[in-house]
Structure 1
Amino acid sequence: MTDLRELIDRGELAELVARHSLWIDELRYDESDQLFTDDVVVKSLRGEAAGIEALVQLARKGHDAYVRTLHNKSNLVIELDGDSATVRANDLAVLVRHDMTEEIAAAIHYYGARRTPGGWRFDRLEIAPQSLTAPLERAI
């Protein structure tokens, strides 16, 4: 039987994943400490980062070419183990370039998280790209 603490933890982790999308889409880099631990480690196609400052630089490296992005996470699979957890999420993103073309990217995000005095925070993130379209012409 699922207990109340587990339900609360699952809800908080799902919220953290949703806030990760807002963090990148709305450039909320000043909120990084509300999502990530100071010692976060990130691996992606664009490189690796250790620590929040390096993470923000990596995010900017990948997203500064776009005027806006829209990330959508789905199919969350959350595994709890006391004060640590893993979360697997599918990520589908629309990436709008300065020339007003768009690209569609798909990836799987593998998060590691741990409970901190401030709540759950991600301490690991591995992004496994699945697909990226060539620039698409805008219809609207």
Structure 2
Amino acid sequence: MTTQTDQSEITTLVDRYFRALDAREFTPGWADAFLAPDARMETPLGTSEGAAAVRATEEALGRYDRTQHLASGIVADTDAGTARASWNALMVHVRHDATLFQVGGVFEAELARTGDGWRFARMAVRAVWTQGRPPGGVGEAPARQPSAPRVG
């Protein structure tokens, strides 16, 4: 059962993580406040774990001059020191040439409660839509086929 305190702490973790990405203050150990040491990150750029996940995040953001990540609809379910959470995200990326690449996506995460609070053990993002030219190595979000009309 998810308590109001757990929901609030997980929501705050998501918000602070997104703000940290946009602030780009990647001092050594910055990710310790958000990620378990062996965290697994799954993005359109690939999958990485632990320290490699932190480096991959920093490298991905380095492709842009500025970013803004917004989360909404954070839903968490907790059980005995673990949690699952999901949320919608709007991610705006401003390239160094001032052009935009935007993504509307859905995040899914598994979290572990540590002595320092909740930390992401696994985080995956799926693009629902994109606008603009994606960075190298990333395809466009899949086009959705129209639903078949209901009969009957």
The answer to whether the aligner puts 1:72 opposite 2:75 as a matched pair is: no
The 1-side partners of 2:69 and 2:12 are apart by 14
Q: Which residue type is aligned with residue 106 of structure 2? A: I
Matched with 1:17 is 14
Name 1:8's counterpart in structure 2: 5
Unaligned 5+ segments in structure 2 are 134-152
Residue type of the alignment partner of 1:24: L
The aligned counterpart of 2:56 is 58
**Counterpart of 1:6 in structure 2: which amino acid?**
T
Structure (1/2) with the larger helix percentage = 1
Report deviation, 1:134. Answer: 1.4
Aligned amino acid, residue 129 of structure 1: A
User: Per-residue CA shift, 1:33-60, capped at 9, x if unaligned?
Assistant: 0101101011111011110x21122113
Contact 1:29 / 1:56 at 8 angstroms: preserved in 2? no
Query: Runs of 5+ in structure 1 lacking a partner?
Result: 136-140
TM-score (ref. length: structure 2): 0.80
Over alpha carbons, which structure has the higher Rg?
Answer: 2
Report the secondary structure of 1:29's partner residue. Answer: coil
2:99 & 2:38 partners in 1: Cα distance?
A: 36
Identity %: 27
The residue that corresponds to 1:81 in the other structure is 79
Tell me the equivalent position of 2:44: 45
Q: Report how many aligned residue pairs link the two structures.
A: 131
TM-score (norm 1): 0.87
